[in-house]
Amino acid sequence: MSTALKVTNLSAGIDGKQILDGLSLEVPFGEIHAIMGPNGSGKSTLCHVLTGKAGYTVKGEATLNGDDLLSLDVDERSRLGLLLSFQYPTEVPGVRLREFMMEAAEEHGFDESVAASRVEEQGKRFGMERFLDRSLNDDLSGGEKKRSEIFQMAVLVPKVALLDEIDSGLDVDAVKQVAEAVEEMRSPDLGVVMITHYSRILRYLSPDKIHVMIDGKIVDSGGAELAEELDSGGYDAVRERLGIEKTRETGPQQRPADFFTDTPF
Ligand code: ADP
Ligand code: MG
């Protein structure tokens, strides 16, 4: 199986602060990998650096289907097949979802008629029809916004999808729906990186691998047993097992939270 995303020894910092510290990760096509880490471990920074957000000092390597990512501009990375779904999707009053998707699909090389039928077809599949002619994310619930992100991904057919906290701020039914939608996206031409600090989404979807990220690097990788360890002992249990000292202030939430303690969207 070829590699959708390969990250080798990636370090990154901003304003003199080191955030990613020699992170390596390999996601083959056809697989869904989860990255779990406490708040502040650098999960969103990894997404920003891979998609080319400005302002970071970056060292290391990252390739998508063998092509170097780090030397490219944001739009070039996107056209190559990299897609980031946002932790907090932005509301854009005045820009309809349908127009936005048509522009994006045409930018990604789809003919206008193909783009239009993809928007219709995937809109139906993800129950987005009634949102197509409304402003992007405007007045959508947390769950609807996340479903819209997955719909956008389905229209654009990325090769690598980075889903940053696709489950945060959702009630338990919405988490289940989003998890099912992610599982439905599974394809031999796509590698998915699902980032979360809650283990509850793993009740509804089965990643091929789970990676634990602490202090800017992947410290452990494994299967369902890792999620169970996190569920019962939190990140402190993993730290203790691996002999990792707490050096970073990661906030009070050390244990992957339950739905009741999840922060509202
Ligand atoms: P996560 O997504 O895992 O919660 P982030 O990648 O958002 O973590 O942040 C990792 C660390 O980097 C945090 O300590 C955060 O405060 C810090 N950080 C993120 N962005 C900046 C920035 N622009 N300037 C300074 N520090 C930042
Ligand atoms: Mg984050």
Q: What is 136-194 written as a DSSP string? A: ETTT--HHHHHHHHHHHHHHH--SEEEEESTTTT--HHHHHHHHHHHHHH--TT-EEEE
**Closest-lying ligand to the alpha carbon of 86?**
2
- pLDDT of 142 > 60? The answer is yes
Taking only the tens place, the pLDDT of each residue in 23-68 is 999 999 999 999 999 999 999 999 999 999 999 999 999 999 999 9
Distance between CA 158 and CA 6 in Å, rounded?
A: 15
Q: Residue 103 contacts by C-beta under 8 Å, 6 or more apart in sequence?
A: none
Q: What is the pLDDT of residue 254?
A: 44
- Report whether residue 42 contacts ligand 1, using a CB cutoff of 6 Å: yes
CA of 114 to the centre of ligand 2 (A): 34
Which atom of ligand 1 has the smallest separation from the CA of 45?
6
Q: Residue 68 contacts by C-beta under 8 Å, 6 or more apart in sequence?
A: 61, 62
- Report whether residue 65 contacts ligand 1, using a CB cutoff of 6 Å: no
Query: What are the φ/ψ torsions at residue 259 (nearest 5 degrees)?
Result: -60, -30
Question: Between 141 and 10, whose confidence is greater?
Answer: 10
122: its two tokens: 């995937």
Distance between CA 70 and CA 113 in Å, rounded?
A: 33
Our mutation pick for probing the ligand 1 site, out of 35, 45, 50, 168, counting the most ligand atoms within 8 A of Cβ, is 45
**pTM, full prediction:** 0.89
- Relative to beta strand 82-85, strand 160-164 is parallel
CA of 126 to the centre of ligand 1 (A): 32
What torsion, rounded to 10 degrees, do the Cα atoms 117, 182, 146, 258 define?
A: 170
Taking only the tens place, the pLDDT of each residue in 215-248 is 999 999 999 899 889 888 989 999 999 999 887 6
Q: What is the pLDDT of residue 245?
A: 87
58: its two tokens: 């970056």
Q: Which helix (H) or strand (E) holds 206?
A: none
What torsion, rounded to 10 degrees, do the Cα atoms 75, 77, 82, 83 define?
A: -30
Which atom of ligand 1 has the smallest separation from the CA of 248?
14
- Report whether residue 45 contacts ligand 1, using a CB cutoff of 6 Å: yes
Contact by Cβ (8 Å): 47, 35 = no
Q: Which residues pair with 82 in a beta bridge?
A: 160
- Report whether residue 17 contacts ligand 1, using a CB cutoff of 6 Å: yes
Look at residue 228 and give its three-state secondary structure: helix
- Report whether residue 37 contacts ligand 1, using a CB cutoff of 6 Å: yes
Look at residue 23 and give its three-state secondary structure: strand
Our mutation pick for probing the ligand 1 site, out of 10, 15, 17, 215, counting the most ligand atoms within 8 A of Cβ, is 17
- Report whether residue 135 contacts ligand 1, using a CB cutoff of 6 Å: no
> What structural domains does the chain harbor?
3-89+159-242 (3.40.50.300)
Taking only the tens place, the pLDDT of each residue in 152-182 is 999 999 999 999 998 888 888 888 988 988 9
End-to-end CA distance of the chain, in Å? Answer: 37
CA of 165 to the centre of ligand 2 (A): 7
